[in-house]
Amino acid sequence: MPFLIALAGAAVALYFFVLRSRNAANIAGDIFDAALDVKNAARRFGFKRRANTHPVEDIDDPKIAIAALAVSFLELDDYPTQEHRNALHRNLQSVLSMSDKDAEEMTVLGRWLMNQCGGADQAVSRLSRKLYKMTGGEAFTPLLTVLRDTLSTNGDDMNDKQRDALDDVKRAFHIT
C-alpha cells in the first residue's frame, strides 16, 4: 500500500512538473512573439537602429514619431482604457492615412520607443524634440488632432501629467 501511495505521488508530481514546463514554454513563446512583432514593425517602416545612438534619434518617418508620442501621451493616464486604445488606433488610421495593420504596428513600435526612453514622461519630451527637428511645425496639427480626438472619446479631460506633457510638446515646437 505505501508503494502505491508513493507511485501516485510521483505521478502527480510528474504531471505538475509537465504542466509547469508547458506553461513556461508558452510564456517564452509569447515573449518571443512580442519581440518579433516589434522587430517586424520596425523593419516594415524602414526603422534602422544604429550603434551608439538612442532609438529615437534613428526615427526618420514623422508618422512613427507621432504614433510614439500619442502612445506615450495616452500612457500618462494612470490606466488608459481599452476605448482610449481603440480610439488611438482609429485616429492614427484616419489622421495619418494608414491601414489598420499599419496603425497596429505603429502602436507596437511606439510603445517600444516609449519604453526605450525610460517611460512616458521622458518619451514625450524626447520625441517632441525629434519630431520638431524632422518636420518643423508641420507635424504639430496632426499630432494635436490625434491626441484631442483620442481623449474626447469618453469626454475625459486631461490629467495633470498630460497637461504638463502638452506644455513640453508646445515648448519643443516653440509655441507659446
pLDDT score for 71: 92
Q: Which residues, other chains included, contact 31 with Cβ-Cβ below 8 Å and sequence gap of 6+?
A: none
- What single letter denotes the amino acid at residue 41? A
* Cβ 96 vs Cβ 142: under 8 Å: yes
Q: Which of 142, 121, 117 is nearest to 131 (CA)?
A: 142
d(CA 66, CA 19): 43
Q: Hunting for cell 514619431 — which residue is that?
A: 65
| Residue 38 predicted with pLDDT over 80 | no
Q: Which of 60, 65, 110 is nearest to 85 (CA)?
A: 110
Mean pLDDT, the chain, whole residue set:
82
The yes-or-no verdict on residue 21 having pLDDT over 80 is: no
Confidence of residue 4 (pLDDT cuts 50, 70, 90): confident
Q: pTM of the full predicted structure?
A: 0.71
Task: Answer whether residue 131 shows pLDDT above 60.
Answer: yes
Given a contact cutoff of 8 angstroms between Cβ atoms, the answer to whether 65 and 59 are in contact is yes
Computed over its alpha carbons, how large is the radius of gyration of the chain?
22
Q: Tens digits of per-residue pLDDT, 154-171?
A: 666 788 888 898 999 999
Q: Tell me the domain boundaries of the chain.
A: 1-44, 55-172
Please state, in angstroms and rounded to a whole number, the distance separating the CA atoms of residues 103 and 109: 10
Q: What is the pLDDT of residues 98-110, one digit of tens each?
A: 998 888 888 888 8
Residues near 104 by beta carbon (within 8 Å), at least 6 away in sequence? 89
Minimum mean pLDDT range among 10-19, 28-37, 125-134: 28-37
Residue 69 — pLDDT band, cuts 50, 70, 90? very high
